[in-house]
Structure 1
């Protein structure tokens, strides 16, 4: 593994960071003040991101994306992660690569409009009684001739309010396993406006102002078989094949926010004076900076290694869980220490630190809680010795 960035990677980092600082930072204060991300802002950022070649950069070149390898993509995500989440997620959109699993007809209807910025997608798995335990989902789809009838509820569905369609995972049967009966899962495309499908406002959230979540209700929602993504009862196969790197994406965006918080802390420690000298001269502050830098570098290395191994085809579930776990917990630590270094000013909204601190909290929950990541890591270790 090479630790130096290639010339192309350096250009990606430089271009993306410049875009974030010029086009995204100026909108942050308004979003934080109102909790709302205006569609005119989204469209303006979207247009500029396309012109800069940053839109849908996670997707292959053959479908109109930038075709970045995983490691380069994570470097790109780190730079975007410096900014308000809702702003970069919708304005510099990265359509879910699960769309690549669709048929040619499905790609024409869903994938390519997303690539052009004409549509947005959302993924619907989580339910009120099925978060980490997705096999425990209660929302169902039953066959009715050539059609399927969907019933149930999904919640915490990110940006479903602006999405034109949802990719919904529904229980379609039961299978016996060594650990008892488990639900079979099938993925469906569901267009907004389909009878029996309703999108309701979700919950207020302390993290990521401007980001929205929604509740999806299915009441005898009828879909044709052509709406199935992948195969019947093989929804988890589709998800595991195409969504594995989402934990690395979370890790990478955390790196960006932590780096921003650390840099603010370094600058402040060098500028702020107390008792006749820079506060960075005091060990109580300088040791904090050293610990913050250490934790950030460790998280960087774990994330870059997992991305590199992903491209080599050697990545493990444990690799990705370690990166996600370390990066999210590191961000919480760095954000808290940054505020401590700034004192009362760190909690004021003149600086992005209180936002980074608030935003950090959700990262240890979504895309698999810290407890789930530890379970995955330890399970892989124990299996190696027959445990």
Structure 2
């Protein structure tokens, strides 16, 4: 693995950071105060992101995307992680799950998403089934050439602004040595489909302006042609998406932590107490040293997973290790940053409290820390079983 950046990658980092500083960061306070991103601002950012070549950077060039490799994409996500999560929505990276589109689905969903004409959201989580996807109760029952869907999804990000939904629902059962196991099918569902209701969810303390919703399905009829992937094989579709998404979460945590360290370092170098800058006290300087070390370790885990993905050798535990360490690292780093700022660290005008507050959700969504530990330990133990 080459730890150095190519000239193209260095230019990418500089370009994305400049875009964040000029097109996104100026609106952070507005989003924090209003808990919303104005539709016209979304359009403005989207247009400029498309012009800059950042939209759909994760999609292959032959489909109209940017064609970035995993390492370059991780570098881009790291820089985007330095700003409000809600604003990043307008710098679209369509979910890789849409690569499962076939036939007419390609022209109806995949290509418009790559061009920025349509955006998607993913509907997995339910009120009674968070990380335990096999216990989902949303059911899709086949009736001839249609499925009839009933159930509720919640914590569905971007559902309020998405044009269509990638839905996962229980579509049957199979008997295994451990008893009955639900079969899952994924569907493409257009907003406005009869039987689908989208409701705004409860307010969250993390990522203001980034809303999650509830989806209520009541006898919602979906043609068989709306199946994404193969019938009863929705987990195969989901598993291809979850790894890349967990790497994105980990990478953005590194970017956010780097910003927190920069802010804390500047404060420590200028804030004076007892006749000297607080950075001269070991209680502060040692925190900065620990923060820098942990950030570097997390970045290496992230880049290792991205590099292995490019080599075709990445495994689930690589993504899990990166997400586990980077998300928990961010919690420690932002907490140290608040402590270094003291009382000012909790003031909204400073911005450190936002990083600290937003860090909490990273250990929960896209697979909790406990799920990541389960994936890692299972990979360690599997060779010794049976």
Task: Please confirm whether the aligned pair reaches a TM-score higher than 0.5, indicating the same fold.
Answer: yes
Could you say which residue in structure 2 is the equivalent of 1:279? Answer: 278
Could you say which residue in structure 2 is the equivalent of 1:312? Answer: 311
In structure 1, stretches of 5+ residues that fail to align are none
2:120 pairs with 1:121: yes
SS at match of 2:243: coil
CA distance in 1, matches of 2:244, 2:198: 27
Alignment deviations for residues 217-246 of structure 1 (CA, whole Å, 9 cap, x no partner): 111111111101111101111111343211
Equivalent residue pairs, number: 386
Q: Where do 4+ consecutive residues of structure 1 move more than 3 Å?
A: none
After TM superposition, the score normalised by the length of structure 2 is 0.98
Could you say which residue in structure 2 is the equivalent of 1:347? Answer: 346
Could you say which residue in structure 2 is the equivalent of 1:85? Answer: 85
Alpha-carbon distance, 1:51 to partner: 1.1
After superposition, the CA RMSD in angstroms is 1.0
2:327 pairs with 1:331: no
Alpha-carbon distance, 1:56 to partner: 1.3
Alpha-carbon distance, 1:178 to partner: 3.0
Could you say which residue in structure 2 is the equivalent of 1:50? Answer: 50
CA distance in 2, matches of 1:97, 1:106: 14
Alpha-carbon distance, 1:280 to partner: 0.6
SS at match of 1:384: helix
Could you say which residue in structure 1 is the equivalent of 2:262? Answer: 263
CA distance in 1, matches of 2:331, 2:296: 15
SS at match of 2:231: coil
Alignment deviations for residues 123-164 of structure 1 (CA, whole Å, 9 cap, x no partner): 001111111100111111111111111111111000100111
Could you say which residue in structure 2 is the equivalent of 1:147? Answer: 146
Matches within 5 A, 1:161-172: 161-172=160-171
SS at match of 1:217: strand
CA distance in 2, matches of 1:97, 1:290: 37
Could you say which residue in structure 2 is the equivalent of 1:27? Answer: 27
Alpha-carbon distance, 1:314 to partner: 1.1
Moved more, 376-385 or 300-309: 376-385
Alignment deviations for residues 96-119 of structure 1 (CA, whole Å, 9 cap, x no partner): 111111013101111122122221
For the structure 1 residues 242 and 365, does the alpha-carbon distance in structure 2 shift closer, same or farther, using more than 3 Å as the test?
A: closer
CA contact (8 A) 1:85 1:208 kept: yes
CA contact (8 A) 1:124 1:167 kept: yes
Alignment deviations for residues 141-199 of structure 1 (CA, whole Å, 9 cap, x no partner): 11111111111111100010011110100101011223321110000111111111111
CA contact (8 A) 2:242 2:366 kept: no
CA distance in 2, matches of 1:180, 1:292: 47
SS at match of 2:161: coil
CA contact (8 A) 1:97 1:243 kept: no
CA contact (8 A) 2:197 2:217 kept: yes
CA distance in 2, matches of 1:63, 1:84: 29
CA distance in 2, matches of 1:313, 1:227: 30
